[in-house]
Structure formats: C-alpha cells, structure tokens
Amino acid sequence: MIERHLMKLRARDEVDAEEEEAIRGTVAEVREYRSREVIVRSHRALETSNILLSGVACRQKDLSDGRRQITELHVDGDYTDLHSFTLKSLDHEVMALTDCTLAVIPHERLQEITRRFPHLTRVYWFATNLDAAIHREWALSLGRRNAAERMAHLFCELHVRLGLVGLVDGESYALALTQNDLAECLGLTSVHVNRTLMQLREDGLLEFRGGRVTIHDLPRLRALAEFDESYLYLERRRR
C-alpha cells in the first residue's frame, strides 16, 4: 500500500526491516478524495498527516482576489503534509488535483516512532527538508526563469520524481493536470501556458495532451531548464 512511499525513502536512505514495519504501523486509515476536494484546510489544528497513495495533490496559497499559487505538487508516495507534525497547523491548503487516495497517519504514531527510532526521525526530517529544497528551486523558477524555462523545469522535476516510484514509461508519464493547474504552479496565466506548451511542442521538446507528458528530447529539455537534479538529493546515504 505504501510501497511507493518506501521506495522514495529508500532512494535517499537505508530503511531496515524493523523500521519498515514501524512505518507500516503508522497508517491508521485510508481515505479517498475527489478531484478538487480540499484534503487539508489551512489554519486548522491538525492531529494527523497524510501519505498520498495515488493521484496528484498540491499545496496552494491564495490572495483575496483569487490569484492563486501552487507551491508544490505531490505524487504517489509523497507525504503531503508531514510538516504539520511540528507546525500543528498549515499556512496553505492541500488539495486534490485528480482523484486521490491517501493514508492517514496520526501524529501520536509519528511521535512514537520518532521516540523509538532516532534514525527514522532524521529520515522524516530529511523528507521535510527536501520539500523545502523543492520550494527553493521553484522560487528560482518563479523569480528568474522565463515561461518556457519554468515549464521545462517542472516537467523535468516530475520526470525524476515520478521515475523514482516507477511511474515513468520510457520518456512518458501520466499527469492529469489542466493547463490552468500548470499556470498556478508556474506563476503564469493559462493562456500563456497554452502558448508556451505549443512552443515546446513545435520545438520538438515535449508534448502534453490527454493527461500525459511525452518528452521527445530530454537532453535539450534539461538544457533549456538548466535542470540540475541535485536539489532532489538522490544520493542514498545515512541521514
């Protein structure tokens, strides 16, 4: 059930059998959400966190006039809101962008495994620090990359992150987002996203249609984005 979550942890650290068992034991419940449903509301006291088992979810913040920014995308196996374990409430919403299945993990169970397994504490601390690293890379995109570079970078990031959990088929992966969702990730309007997608397609870099991304020229895509995957901390080492 949480196999993809374990795959992801194992890509960056060692997790032994006993730790794995403890992690499996943290799951209290499994819930389903429909596309566009809010999974976690902002500014509410929280006593559980969630692992995304399947689907695409996001963290988003907005302004009063409706301007909205997605600050991170989540895919299968991601903890969407592990940070609420110490924050106790969130500064953003977590929302389902497609139908989603999530495992619910009570904070008290996290408290317990961090007490029993100091190493797992660091594994999960690392995981939240990785989210922050992704935020920083997005800040670089939003602040300094133009539309095409930003978009190329996002597709490269997802290519790696989905690849880690076995969801990339050749150079293609499922991504059931709307162009407006992309716009809210990239700090653009959906109209400009549409035009930028067409440009990337005409340039032979990739196609995005029917909820699927097909990369035609990964080296050029990475070069355009100046994509350097080191911010995803892919080394498997003791944390």
Partner DNA sequence: CGGTTGTTTGATAGGCCTCAAAGTCAGTGG
Partner DNA sequence: CCACTGACTTTGAGGCCTATCAAACAACCG
Positions touching its own copies (CB under 8 A) are 43, 59, 61-64, 67-69, 71-72, 83, 85-88, 91-92, 114-115, 118, 121-122, 125-126, 128-133, 135-140, 142-145, 186-187, 226, 230-231, 233, 235, 237, 239
Torsion angle in degrees (nearest 10) through CA of 9, 151, 134, 42: -100
Distance CA 72, CA 39 (A): 14
Cβ distance to DNA smaller for residue 147 or 206: 147
Tokens of 209: 């249609």
Range in contact with DNA (rule: CB under 7 A) among 68-76, 164-172, 184-192, 222-230: 184-192
Tokens of 33: 């959400």
Cβ distance to DNA smaller for residue 114 or 194: 194
Tokens of 88: 């106790």
Name which of DNA, its own copies, none residue 206 binds, using a CB cut-off of 5 to 8 Å depending on partner kind. Answer: none
Q: Select from 14, 221, 239 the least CA-distant residue to 130.
A: 239
Name which of its own copies, DNA, none residue 136 binds, using a CB cut-off of 5 to 8 Å depending on partner kind. Answer: its own copies
Binding DNA (rule: CB under 7 A), the pick from 86, 111, 129, 190 is: 190
To its own copies, the closest distance from the beta carbon of 233 in angstroms equals: 6
Binding DNA (rule: CB under 7 A), the pick from 16, 146, 204, 228 is: 146
Name which of its own copies, DNA, none residue 179 binds, using a CB cut-off of 5 to 8 Å depending on partner kind. Answer: DNA
Name which of DNA, its own copies, none residue 190 binds, using a CB cut-off of 5 to 8 Å depending on partner kind. Answer: DNA
192 scored as a contact of DNA (CB under 7 A): yes
Q: Select from 55, 72, 46, 61 the least CA-distant residue to 128.
A: 72
Decide: helix, strand or coil at residue 195.
helix
Cβ distance to its own copies smaller for residue 53 or 188: 188
Give all strands (DSSP E) within the chain, no chain letters: 29-33, 38-40, 48-54, 57-62, 68-74, 93-96, 100-106, 168-169, 172-174, 206-209, 212-215
Q: Select from 39, 47, 159 the least CA-distant residue to 100.
A: 39
Binding site for DNA (CB under 7 A): 146-148, 178-180, 187-192, 194-198, 209-210
